[in-house]
Structure 1
Amino acid sequence: MTALPPGPAAPVRRAALPLALCAALATALTGCGEDPDAGTNGVGKLEATAIEKKAKAAADAADAVRVAGTLVSKGGTYKLNMRLKKSGGVGSVTSKNSTFELLRIEDALFLKADAGFWVHADSDGKGDDAEPGEEDVAAAEKLDDKYVKVPEDDPAYKQLRGFTDMNVLLDGLLGLHGKLSKGDRATIGGVRTIEIMGGEGNGGTLAVSLEGKPYPVQLDRAGDAGILTLGEWGQDFPLEAPDKDETVDYGRQLPRAND
């Protein structure tokens, strides 16, 4: 008996194996036709300079943001957890020896801390204050967990306000140094991102969202100057002045917190 030649089904069966293999490995191999930018906002296809431009534009246009993480500035290390918008901000700042809360509504800036902050605060920033006496301790207890309005002519006002000013803080944080290049893709807080790097990472690394608007998501600052996450873009929040019974007049120039 003469063997019949293979029917048309045979080539189909032979093709089935590589097609199935390609589908199974799609998460690991891009050669099978998977588009890494599928379902994204498309900024991953752009050059690093264009990604940075779009990220800054998105940040500038946003009405609000939460900034959290570690910031190293002028020799001091701070942990921030601030919610910011154009008209003010609210949140906490932790330095080496103290934690305090800040609230700003337009130009009115309030600081709230426990008695320990006021007892151990440094009045001139030189770290040479004498041990607090009974009078200092008593005064600190009156300020415990109360809002103190910071006078606009106080030297501490400008520094503290900077933590609550969305434009100032973002302008100071989002700049990368050196020639820009694209880095890795990652998922941060459930958000797909693309990295752009300054000076191959030595000038800082910024992760930009690949979902929705290309907001900055995480910043690794140059020179080990801290890592900050940015989120809740455009989510409004209330800013309310504290009640009179929650506020106390400090009565003299505010001291500086020791780092």
Structure 2
Amino acid sequence: MRTIHAVTALAVTAALLGGCTSGSSPSPAPASAAPASNGVADLSASAILERARGALATATSFRVRGGVFHDAIYDGQGRGEDPQLWSVDVRIAGTDAAGWTAIGASKQESIIVGDKRYLRASEQILAQTVGPERARALTRERGGRWVTLPRRQRVFGDFVTAAYVDGLIKPKATVTKGAGKVIDGIPAIAVIDSGRTPTTVYVAITGEPYPVRLERAELEGLSFTEFGVAFPQIQAPPAADVVGPGKKPA
């Protein structure tokens, strides 16, 4: 009988302990840590842009998308000149690049790799680079192929480079800090340049202090994304799809 009583007591004790365990509240899951600040929000406006330009210069690659009035100058009452709005989508890796720029329906694609530039453009845009007659001839001859040009040749509309982007965010006059804003999920702080072409640059305040957005008056706005991404688009097109500037395709 003593053995039965002992076993029963142990069973009751275990049940009570088990009940306490199952009824206890689970430990709360640890809260996810917020992204660490990179410290730029505490800097002066000019120092923020300096950090942003430095981060951009060391980025192995990035993408630029949006619209910009190339070479536009504002006089305080609007654009002092009347350039056209360019739509752009360009991937940049060092001094190489691939992408397109367009004015309305007139579009050109460009690839810059090593010492070669490959261009596939509408006749209207191509005429600004090689002249109307040659543009007509190339448009007939190429059949959708790329035209190869020396890298150093100036090409109308092919202006989006790392140096060009750096020039956009380089301060031209007095700069001031603006409000914070989340850009595509990235917390950022605004830096406002009050120069002849008023510009607002948003700089990431977590992670690398990359510029993530540039805004100007009217329709202008550029987004900077995909930092450090490997872009397979930045490579020379197949030789069979390329036409030299002075020869017909085979």
Q: TM-score, normalised by structure 2?
A: 0.69
Instruction: Establish whether residue 140 from structure 1 lines up as the match of residue 148 from structure 2.
Output: no
Q: In structure 2, what is the Cα distance between the partners aligned to 1:139 and 1:173?
A: 33
Q: Quick check: which has more Rg, 1 or 2?
A: 2
Task: Give the SS at the match of 1:177.
Answer: coil
| Residue 98 (structure 1) aligned with residue 93 (structure 2) | no
Normalization by structure 1: what TM-score? 0.67
Aligned to 1:108: 116
Alpha-carbon distance in 2 for matches of 1:146, 1:201: 41
Q: How many residues align?
A: 201
Note if contact 2:112-2:151 (Cα within 8 Å) is conserved in structure 1.
Answer: no
What letter corresponds to residue 66 of structure 2 in structure 1? Answer: G
Q: How does 1:3-14 map to 2 (within 5 A)?
A: none
Query: Which whole-Å CA distance do the structure 2 matches of 1:122 and 1:92 have between them?
Result: 13
Match of 1:183 in 2: 178
Kindly indicate whether residue 50 of structure 2 is the aligned counterpart of residue 53 of structure 1.
yes
Equivalent AA in structure 2 for residue 232 of structure 1: E
The verdict on how the C-alpha distance between 1:98 and 1:58 changes in structure 2, with shifts beyond 3 A counting, is same
Once residues 126 and 146 of structure 2 are traced to their aligned partners in structure 1, the CA distance between those partners, rounded to angstroms, is 19
CA, structure 1 residues 112+248, in 2 after alignment: closer, same or farther (shift >3 Å)?
A: same
Instruction: Flag structure 2 segments of 5+ consecutive residues without an equivalent.
Output: 1-33, 72-82
- Residue range with higher mean Cα deviation, 81-90 or 171-180: 171-180
Letter of the 2:181 counterpart: A
- Residue 203 of structure 1 corresponds to 198
Structure 2 Cα separation of the partners of residues 152 and 214 of structure 1: 31
Q: Percent identity?
A: 25
Partner AA of 1:149 in structure 2: T
Cα separation, 2, equivalents of 1:141 and 1:124: 17
CA contact (8 A) 1:104 1:161 kept: no
The CA distance in 2 between the partners of 1:195 and 1:201, in whole Å, is: 18
The answer to whether residue 182 in structure 2 is matched with residue 215 in structure 1 is no
Q: Residues 181 and 148 of structure 1: is their aligned pair in 2 closer, same or farther, counting only changes over 3 Å?
A: same
**Separation (CA, whole Å) in 2 of partners of 1:54 and 1:228:** 19
CA contact (8 A) 1:73 1:225 kept: no
List structure 1 segments (4+ residues) > 6 angstroms apart after TM superposition.
Answer: none
Counterparts of 1:122 and 1:112 in 2: how far apart (Å)? 8
**Aligned Cα root-mean-square deviation (Å):** 3.2
**Cα gap change, 1:240/1:200 in structure 2, threshold over 3 Å: closer, same or farther?**
closer
Contact 1:109–1:149 (8 Å) recurs in 2: yes
- The one-letter amino acid of 1:98's match is S
1:52 shift after superposition: 1.4
The 1:58/1:73 distance shift into structure 2, 3 A limit, reads same
